[in-house]
Amino acid sequence: AAKAAGKRQWRRFQPQQRVRMVERHDLRARLDRAIARQEFDLRYQPVVDMETGDVIGFEALARWPHRGQDAVPPGRFIPLAEETGHISSLGGWVLRHATADIARLQRRTRRAVPPYVSVNVSARQWRDAGFLDEVCAAVDAAALAPGTLQLELTESVLIRRTDRIDALLRALKDRGVRIAVDDFGTGYSSLRYLGDFPVDVLKIDKAFIDGIPHAPRQVALVEGIVHLADALGLQVIAEGIEEQAQRELLSSVGCRYGQGFLFARPMTVEQSEAVLRTGGGPG
Ligand code: C2E
Ligand code: MG
Ligand code: MG
Ligand code: MG
């Protein structure tokens, strides 16, 4: 009887699973096409100095525009592009466009301290043999102000360390590229890489920020991360700040930089320029 029931259930699930597989296959095909045709957009989310209110830089975030359909969020299409291996091609496009956009923004706004651009780089790209050349070519082609490119990596890249990645990070740092650990604290539970690798920035994941200021253990964790970063001489950026109370708590524990809907949502490069001209602080 149990077997029969199991069989019935399996029969009932099968069509749904088929639909999901077909949908996935379809999405993959559309994504492959979009990557080949470079049909993407970038949005920029301001990173704010919470002490002064200045915008110090922007994180570039990829968008896949869809006519007449719901947009597929990057949380869905980035992992898919990683699976198919096309992330390197998409990532190259992001790098070239983000550096060109911010270089133009820097020239048009002429601030004393030019804003930086922070670009997300997938684990796969860090393993690409041509990655260093690709970064250097993008920076040169855009004529980006020195020291204003930041690359974001996730903890998995630093945990599975190889001599190649070590050398790559050092070469990038020698060229003035800053390295940020994205989604800090959510990956592997090893901190050893912080002692070994010359990273510059820790971005505290939104998951930690969500719990403050009300959950004491989350507050303690955030405070601990800020102190750890201070001791190592790293900059800390809190991600996903949505409420004033979170901002206040972060400031009170010494976290100076933040990103989140409280300050600004990801926006076009034109809107970013307007922000720098009006609300972006002095300079
Ligand atoms: P991430 O790098 O951690 O980027 C931060 C994400 O949090 C962005 O989502 C941003 O829109 C969102 N966010 C920022 N502030 C808030 C807030 O206050 N509340 C909430 N609820 N969300 C906030 P987005 O743009 O959907 O990107 C999701 C993820 O996709 C990124 O997480 C990143 O891992 C990946 N991604 C996006 N663009 C690229 C890209 O060009 N290359 C690669 N490799 N990954 C990318
Ligand atoms: Mg990021
Ligand atoms: Mg993040
Ligand atoms: Mg994230």
Q: Express each pLDDT in 137-162 by its tens digit.
A: 999 999 999 999 999 999 999 888 88
Q: What is the mean pLDDT of the chain?
A: 91
Closest residue by Cα to atom 10, ligand 1, is: 266
pLDDT digits (tens, 9 = 90+) for 87-138: 999 999 999 999 999 999 999 999 999 999 999 999 999 999 999 999 999 9
Residues sharing a CB contact under 8 Å with residue 230, sequence separation 6 or more, in sequence order:
236, 254
Closest residue by Cα to atom 8, ligand 1, is: 61
Q: Which ligand is nearest to the CA of 94?
A: 1
pLDDT digits (tens, 9 = 90+) for 34-52: 999 999 999 999 999 999 9
Please, which pLDDT band fits residue 283 given cuts at 50, 70 and 90?
A: very low
- Of residues 78 and 18, the one with the higher pLDDT is 78
- What is the pLDDT at residue 6? 52
Residue list, CB under 5 A from ion ligand 4: 183
Q: How far apart are CA 283 and CA 281, in angstroms?
A: 7
- What is the pLDDT at residue 199? 92
Residue 115 Cβ < 6 Å to ligand 1: no
Q: Give the Å distance between the CA of 105 and the centre of ligand 4.
A: 25
Closest residue by Cα to atom 21, ligand 1, is: 240
Q: What are phi and psi of 53, to 5 degrees?
A: 85, 0
pLDDT digits (tens, 9 = 90+) for 242-256: 999 999 999 999 999
238, 204 Cβ separation under 8 angstroms = yes
- Of residues 265 and 20, the one with the higher pLDDT is 265
Q: Which ligand is nearest to the CA of 237?
A: 3
Closest residue by Cα to atom 46, ligand 1, is: 120
Residue 94 Cβ < 6 Å to ligand 1: yes
Q: Give the Å distance between the CA of 183 and the centre of ligand 4.
A: 5
- Whether residue 173 is predicted with pLDDT greater than 70 in this model: the reply is yes
Q: Give the Å distance between the CA of 62 and the centre of ligand 1.
A: 8
Burial label, 221 (beta-carbon count in 10 A; 0-12, 13-18, 19+) = middle
Q: Which ligand is nearest to the CA of 123?
A: 1
Mean pLDDT of 188-213: 89
Residue list, CB under 5 A from ion ligand 2: 120, 152, 182
Q: Give the Å distance between the CA of 10 and the centre of ligand 4.
A: 35
Q: How far apart are CA 181 and CA 202, in angstroms?
A: 5
